[in-house]
Amino acid sequence: MCAALARDDAWPFLRDALSTWRPMSDDHLAPITLLADPRTARLITPERGREILSMRRG
């Protein structure tokens, strides 16, 4: 399977999981750990990063 296709297939699952994420403080805007893990960092394109930042939080 093409790597880009695998990323596209995985993105909806990650996006759905992010709906349950809650910030630890008012300054905690996004789960930055996703960018530190090479497996999830590959999923986050600039457009998807903006989508993450625009999601409603708790």
The pLDDT assigned to 45 comes to 92
Assess if residue 15 is contained within a domain: no
Assess if residue 43 is contained within a domain: yes
User: Considering the chain, what is the average pLDDT of its residues?
Assistant: 83
pLDDT tens digits, one per residue of 25-34 = 878 777 888 8
Provide the residue range defining the domain that includes 44: 30-57
pLDDT tens digits, one per residue of 5-17 = 677 899 999 999 8
Assess if residue 49 is contained within a domain: yes
Assess if residue 38 is contained within a domain: yes
Assess if residue 12 is contained within a domain: no
Q: Rounded mean pLDDT of 25-54?
A: 87
Higher pLDDT, 58 or 45: 45
Give the predicted TM-score (pTM) of the model: 0.72
Assess if residue 8 is contained within a domain: no
The number of folded domains in the chain is: 1
Report the SS3 class of residue 3. helix
